[in-house]
Amino acid sequence: MKYLTLEKGEGEYAIRHVKGKCIGTISSLSDGFYYYWPLSSTEGYLPSYILLEIVGLLDILNKDLTEDLDRYFTEEEIDEHSLYNE
């Protein structure tokens, strides 16, 4: 990560800019996926390179669940096709 750092807290991660300012948190919901929550006190904008890093962090944290879902739906498609070929 070039512009952001993560600080693991209790049940969530604080996202800090390399200069130290906290710009939001990443936490998981009941579905198990992690989501980004900007701080309501933060004013202004986030440039695309910061947003891309946040996306990258979410992709890393959600990797296992995303792979499980992909595998589930791929197997379901294979099962449906095999029914038609019998």
The pLDDT value recorded for residue 11 is 85
Q: Which residues contact 35 (CB under 8 A, 6 or more apart)?
A: 26, 27, 28, 29, 58
Domain residue limits at 30: 4-85
Q: Kindly report the number of other CB atoms within 10 A of residue 25's CB atom.
A: 19
Q: Considering the entire predicted model, what is its pTM?
A: 0.78
3-state secondary structure of 11: coil
Q: Are 53 and 1 in contact (CB under 8 A)?
A: yes
The pLDDT value recorded for residue 82 is 58
Mean pLDDT of all residues in 41-56? 91
Q: Does residue 77 register a pLDDT over 80?
A: no
Residues 71, 50: Cα–Cα separation, whole Å? 30
pLDDT grade, residue 80 (50/70/90)? low
pLDDT in tens, 9-27: 988 999 999 888 999 999 9
34: closest CA among 47, 45, 25, 43? 25
Q: What is the number of domains present in the chain? A: 1
DSSP 8-state class, residue 39:
-
